[in-house]
Structure 1
């Protein structure tokens, strides 16, 4: 029997904590939402450093346990409060596919997308490097083509013929690209996929301004 949840999600709108909040909604787990100030960096205040010493989001508190980083938190929730159809188990044919895209949404895409964000939007104009932005755009587009042709754009859902944490992971990165106006020239099947994923009620709650 799964333990009784005592969950607090430390969250800021538009950040990777959207992934965790969306998963919590899809799993139907009760949680308390604690909104962290994110207008300045580092996030939150000194008291938040007791939760996350790096003062980043998300963080999840489960009773006395604190878990950091969005993908780790999702795996924690699936393992501790499963079984859940949001997970894909080792005995399923799509297990490897699920793991790949669950982590690709972070480990595979973060560097070029972060550089693209920094050198087109985030940094002051006099600190931006046009050559680095161009390289980041090239690398990001290459990753989007890969996703379009090898796993995300060829099915309704990535794995298991149902929504899973892998869909949540990759959809957030598409959302981030959309926020910085770098998703408009993505392959059409990815834009269709993104529209389908973001039509879900759980997404609407997770991506709200609250």
Structure 2
């Protein structure tokens, strides 16, 4: 059985969601953040990088949500929520699956920028990051005006990968999506999924550590 090492308010909630969508058994081990919002030493001891999500499957412990999602879909779910390599939308699936990493990196860069900096290079970087997020969000909005889901007509792991930047990050100072009607409708559509609702109740940003 897969163990999900869940760090509170982190991208590890997407792995809980994936498992709920697939109906696969898992064990959840919860770690609260420290007052400075860093992961506690016990979480950092799990892996040399110890980013969230981190999972264990047998003797293998590894991080990186993109790798974890592909591993679960292909190793444990028989390809469910993935797209076959000979499917017409396979390239779309790969693109949107990996898009989440670029989107999250740009969102984090905007959140870390100092709008009052007097350092000209930092100001250039902050402007470039904001422009990049705007491009990514507009790209999402266009895509979701032509397709109900990112990889095509069916819900897939690509959707699981991208929701965090659109839902949790704005709660903590990330860019808003309110000006993007297709993205807003998409978030509402995804948020209505029973598996998503279960996962957010278990490990979402408002969830709390279950009582022992």
Q: Normalized against structure 2, the TM-score is what?
A: 0.82
Q: Pick from 167, 170, 175: which aligns with 1:178?
A: 170
Counterparts of 1:176 and 1:137, CA distance in 2:
18
- The 8 Å contact of residues 38 and 44 in structure 1, kept in 2 or not, is answered as yes
Shift of 1:111: 2.7
1:55 Cα deviation from its structure 2 partner: 3.1
CA contact (8 A) 1:44 1:55 kept: no
Gaps of 5+ in 1: 1-5
* Cα distance in 2 between the residues matched to 1:170 and 1:153: 16
Query: 2:106 corresponds to which residue?
Result: 112
CA-to-aligned-CA distance 1:94-145 (integer Å, 9 cap, x gap): 1110010000011x21332111122379xxx889966654442222111111
Aligned to 1:195: 188
C-alpha deviations, 1:35-80, integer Å up to 9, x for none? 12223464122x4334222232110001111121111100110111
- CA–CA distance in structure 2, aligned partners of residues 176 and 186 of structure 1: 17
SS in 2 for 1:152: helix
Moved more, 17-26 or 195-204: 195-204
CA deviations on 1:142-197 (whole Å, 9 max, x unpaired) are 11111222x33421122352211101111122124422252244421111111111
Q: Normalising by the residue count of structure 1, what TM-score does the alignment of the two structures yield? A: 0.83
Q: 1:85 and 2:77 equivalent?
A: no
Computed over aligned residues only, the root mean square deviation of the Cα atoms, in angstroms, reads 2.6
How many pairs were matched up? 199
8 Å CA contact 1:144–1:186 kept in 2: the answer is no
**Shift in alpha-carbon separation, 1:29–1:166, aligned structure 2, 3 A:** same
Residue pair 2:117, 2:123 contacting (<8 A) in 1 also: no
Alpha-carbon shift at residue 13 of structure 1 (Å)? 3.2
Instruction: Please give the alpha-carbon distance, in whole angstroms, between the structure 1 residues aligned to 2:118 and 2:186.
Output: 35
Partner of 2:56: 61
In structure 2, the CA distance between the partners of 1:198 and 1:120, relative to structure 1 (3 Å rule), is farther
Distance 1:61 1:176 in 2: 25
Q: 1:44 aligns with which of 35, 40, 43?
A: 40
Verify the 8 A CA contact 2:8 2:32 in the aligned structure 1: no
- 30 and 82 in structure 1: CA distance in 2 versus 1, 3 angstrom threshold: same
Unaligned runs of 5+ in 2: none
| 2:151 is equivalent to residue 159 of structure 1 | yes
**Could you tell me which of 23, 38, 58 is aligned with 2:18?**
23
